[in-house]
Amino acid sequence: MTDAPLALLAELTHRCPLRCPYCSNPTALTGPGEELDTATWARVFAEAAELGCLQLHLSGGEPTARRDILDLVRAAGGAGLYTNLITAGVLLDAGRLAALAEAGLDHVQLSVQDAEAGSADRIGGYAGGHAKKLAVGRLVTAAGLPLTLNAVVHRQNLDRLPALIDLALDLGAGRLEVAHVQYYGWALRNRDALLPTRAQLEAATATVEAARAAHRGRLVIDYVVPDYYAKRPKACMGGWGRRFLAVSPAGRILPCHAAESLPGFDFPNVRTSSLRAAWEGSEAFARYRGTGWMPEPCRGCDRAEVDWGGCRCQAFALTGDAAATDPACALSPDHGLLALAVEEAAGAGEGFTYREPRPEPRRAPAPG
């Protein structure tokens, strides 16, 4: 029997006023007319609770772009789920935050693009966004809601990691996620402009270790490192179809939020399938679950039930084969692709291809 999932990631919409060049949304964005309606999402939340989920992460795009966000929060609370709003913050104000808290919201995860306003606004592609985020962060804590600050880091902001830690403390956050960019979707398009140097990575790791010691009991720091300097892969999402599931704006039920990038799958949809049927009985969830699917050198490896083969989306992005050994593993025959990517990035410029709901996103100039 498959264990129950811990959490559901509900991607309510792909709409977002920001245009981050590392956005985890697919490059083919779902339009508003294809999004699930309020009643369908409420049913999904009830099914998630019945399946055994404890946590619900309300994400996007920007989830507060949904006019029914209060109704969705109420439905999630009514189902008994712990609700975390993953937001850019720029569409929130004191009144809306108060209404969300009254509706039963349990937690806010606020994204920031940098500690310096000019750089942050350039990275997010949204003028004035950084100042708005700082104001919203203070409103969150003033409303009595727990706050996590999410800082996606990369070559163009990593040197300001100490200032990002200070920012989390100043805003009263209880948790800081220092999340290195993961390279698929929009981030893969912008990899050359985002991939940090080894020196930057080593300095960042030392900064995090020192800050954890200095602020123990005051600030929890989660640290997600990039795979491109790794010798062993991470257990992506706790392993394919083992701990988490996601539902896309159009209703596709996925083992992770990036799985739509993989060809050859017929993912179930909540319009025609229950979450339980997808989790327990679909071929899409079973395909890379466990260890039976693994090729050599993963098969029989003493870490097979530690990293569960690494990331299928990364394996496909780098090798064209989702069943290949994750190139983050030093034993992979494709491990050299990572060193090649680092070498190519070292001589690249800093212009971005922004996330846009258009076939040909425009590139932003490099700073300066």
Binding residues for [4Fe-4S] cluster: 16, 20, 23
CA 315 to CA 321: how far, in whole Å?
6
CA 335 to CA 325: how far, in whole Å?
9
Please list, in sequence order, all residues whose beta carbon lies within 8 angstroms of the beta carbon of residue 3, skipping any fewer than 6 positions away: 242, 243
Binding site: which residues? 16, 20, 23
CB atoms within 10 A of CB 42: 19
CA 285 to CA 279: how far, in whole Å?
6
DSSP states of 1-44: -PPPPSEEEEE--S--S---TT--S-SSPPPGGGS--HHHHHHH
Backbone angle region of 128, left / alpha / beta, with phi > 0 → left and psi within -120 to 50 → alpha: left
Beta strands in 309-362 (DSSP E): 352-353
Question: In the 8-state DSSP scheme, what is residue 177?
Answer: E
Tokens representing residue 87 in the block:
């937001």
